[in-house]
Amino acid sequence: MLWNSLQFEDGRIAHQEVMMSVKQPEAEEDVIELLWRLTTHALETGQAFELGEFYSMPETVFGQYGFAGVYVTAPFYFDESFFIHHGDASFDEPEHVLPVWFVPIFESEVDYLVQQGMDAFDEIIDATEDELLDLTRQPLI
């Protein structure tokens, strides 16, 4: 998605890259399918992924784990250098590219997100160490 402009609801234009990290190597195909679906959605609609959004999980992805969907956040488990990519003009890359990290979440976490809001949910996930990378984790709420 690096070379495609996407638009936020407020009209700002951005370039984004999608990412997801999991500990289970056997989930690679599900990760690829999910990121492909999300990328296709963004490219077809032209809409940028907003931090704090929730996308329902396709039935064919991560079915054995019981997740309701994925939460859109910044890659806060990673070094600060992951927060923005500075493009290389010699390759015609955009000046800034925002990485978007998708975190699988459970129905109870979705309910909390809806009831308490993004800031409250972010406080909970920010307090985790690497639990969000484990598809066999227990719900945080």
pLDDT in tens, 107-116: 999 999 999 9
Q: How far is 102 from 55, CA to CA, in rounded Å?
A: 9
**Weakest-pLDDT range from 25-29, 88-92, 101-105, 112-116:** 88-92
Structure tokens at 26: 């056997």
pLDDT on residue 94: 52
Count Cβ neighbours within 10 Å for each residue of 69-96 and write b for 16 or more, e otherwise. Answer: bbbbbebebeeeeeeebebeeeeeebee
3-state secondary structure of 114: helix
User: Contact at 8 Å (CB) between 132 and 73?
Assistant: no
Specify the pLDDT at position 27. Answer: 95
The number of CA neighbours under 13 Å toward the Cβ of 129 is: 0
